[in-house]
Amino acid sequence: MERIMIKDLGGRVGEEVLVKGWVDVRRDQGKMIFLDLRDASGKVQGVILPGQAEALEVAKEVRPEWVLAITSQVNQRPEKNVKAGVLNGEIELEIKQVTVLNQAATPPFEVNEDTGKVNEEARLKYRYLDLRTERMANNLRARHNIIKLIRDELANQDFIEIETPILTKSTPEGARDYVVPSRLYPGKFYALPQSPQQYKQLLMVAGVEKYFQIARCFRDEDTRGDRQPEFTQLDLEASFVEREDIMQLNEKLLIKIVEELYPDKKIQEKPFPRLTYREAIDKYGTDRPDLREDKDDPDLLAFCWVTDFPFFEKTDEGGWTFTHNPFSRALPEHEEWLENKEKIGEIITTQYDVALNGFEIGGGSIRNHRPELLSKVFEIMGFSQERTEANFGHMLRALAFGAPPHGGIAWGLDRLIALLQGEPNIREVIPFAKTGEGRDPMMDAPAEIEAKQLKELKIEVKDAK
C-alpha cells in the first residue's frame, strides 16, 4: 500500500490508508487508545477501538516519538467533535494495524511543545529533536520558501546562480578569517570566505553580467550573543548598472517576499523611505533606524534605505580604513578627491544599506571598476605597494582587463528570515546553529584533532593557557 502524507488525508474519507510518522501524543481512554501521529506535513488523530485486539496490544507499548506505520480507515468526525481551522480537524483515523518501525529514547524535553523556554544548550545539543517541534519545523519551511522565491524571481530576470570557492585566500576585509592549513603546502593556509565579494566582482570581469548565490560565509568574530561564525547571504552582482538599478531590484524582491509569503504582514511605506547616512545619524542616532509607527505591532514592517556613507574612517592609530569594504566606488563628484588623496574624511561612497525594524538586513554598493582608483584606496589605508600586490594583486590585474561598471548587494538571510518569522534571534531560523560563543554542543566542536593529523600538517599545538 502506498504511503499517504498526513496533510493529504482530508480528501480520503472512507478509504483505507497507510500513514507513517512519529507518535506525537499517546492517550489511554478506557478500552481505547488514541494516537496522534506526526509527519513532516502535519498531524492527525487516530483511535484504536476495542475490537482491534492486535493493534491494541502493540499500542500498549508505544511511547512518544516512536516511529510507526499505521494502516487505518479515514472517518469523518461527528459534528460535535470537529476542530475547525485545524489541519485534519474534521477527520479521524480508525486504526486497524500498528507496526513499530523504531523505538525512541525518552527525549530530554517535550517535542510536542514549544521549546522557546527550554535551556538553549540542551536544544542545540539535541537539535535534531528541537527541529521536530512545530515552530522550528515551520521556520525551516519558511526558510525554504523564501530562498525558493528568491531563486525563482532572480532566474526569471536572467540572473544565474554560480557557486564560488569556500577555500580561498586570507585578505584584510574587516573581520578575522577562519584559516585552514594546507597539508600539501606546509606553512601555507587557505581561508574560509567572509563573503564572495571578490569572486562576484571577478565574475563581472568574466562577462557573466548577472550573478547571484545563496552563499555560506564565515567570520571569526569575538563572542556576541546574536552572531554566528557561519551564516548565509543572498549575494548578488550585476554589470552596467547604477545604484538606483540595484536598489529598485532589491526593493521589489523584498516586497514580493512579504506580499506572497507573509500576506498578514504590512509594509509601512512603499516605496521604502530613504535617508542619507548623515540624516539617519542626526535624526535617529543610528544608521539602521527603526521607523515603525507602532512598535507593538508584530506584523508591521518598516523598511528603509540608508545611502551616502563616508568611505573612510579613522583608525585607533590615526590612520584611515574603509567603513564598509575597499571595493566601493566613490560618488562620481568625489572621485577626484580619491585620486588626489585629498579631503579623505569627506569622500562619500555609493554604498547603500537596507534596514528593517531597526536591523540592517543588507548592504551593497557600486564597485570601483578602475584599477588605478582602487590602488588609491589602499594607498590611503597605508598599504605599501608590496602589501597591496600580495593581498589584492589578483583584483587589480583582473580590473585591468576591461572590467565593466558593476555593483551589487548582499542580504543577511538569517536576519531577514528571523524578523519575518517574529523570532528573537537568528539561531531560531538556522537549522544547526552554534551557541553565542561559537560552539556546537551537538558535534562537540571545535575539538582537538589527532596527533597524526597535526603531524601531517606540520603543525605543533602549544599550551594555550
Binding site for L-aspartate: which residues? 173, 219, 324, 367
What gap in Å lies between CA 363 and CA 102, rounded to an integer? 48
> What is the CA angle 152-154-158, rounded to 5?
110
How far apart are the two ends of the chain, measured CA to CA in Å? 62
* b/e burial code for range 340-352 (CB count within 10 A of at least 16 → b): eeeebeebbbbbb
- How far, rounded to the nearest angstrom, does the alpha carbon of residue 249 sit from its chain's CA centroid? 20
Residues annotated within the binding site for ATP are 219-221, 228, 360, 412-415
What gap in Å lies between CA 362 and CA 360, rounded to an integer? 6
> What is the CA angle 450-453-457, rounded to 5?
145
Whether residue 415 contacts residue 428, with contact meaning beta carbons closer than 8 Å, is answered with no
Task: State the pairing for strand pair 178-181/160-161.
Answer: unpaired
Residue 271: cis peptide before it, omega within 30 degrees of 0: yes
What gap in Å lies between CA 156 and CA 129, rounded to an integer? 37
φ/ψ of residue 173, rounded to 5: -120, 10
Q: Which residue type occupies 255?
A: I
Return the C-alpha cell found at 67: 516511529
Whether residue 178 contacts residue 229, with contact meaning beta carbons closer than 8 Å, is answered with yes
φ/ψ of residue 220, rounded to 5: -90, 75
Residues annotated within the binding site are 173, 219-221, 228, 324, 360, 367, 412-415
Whether residue 27 contacts residue 70, with contact meaning beta carbons closer than 8 Å, is answered with no
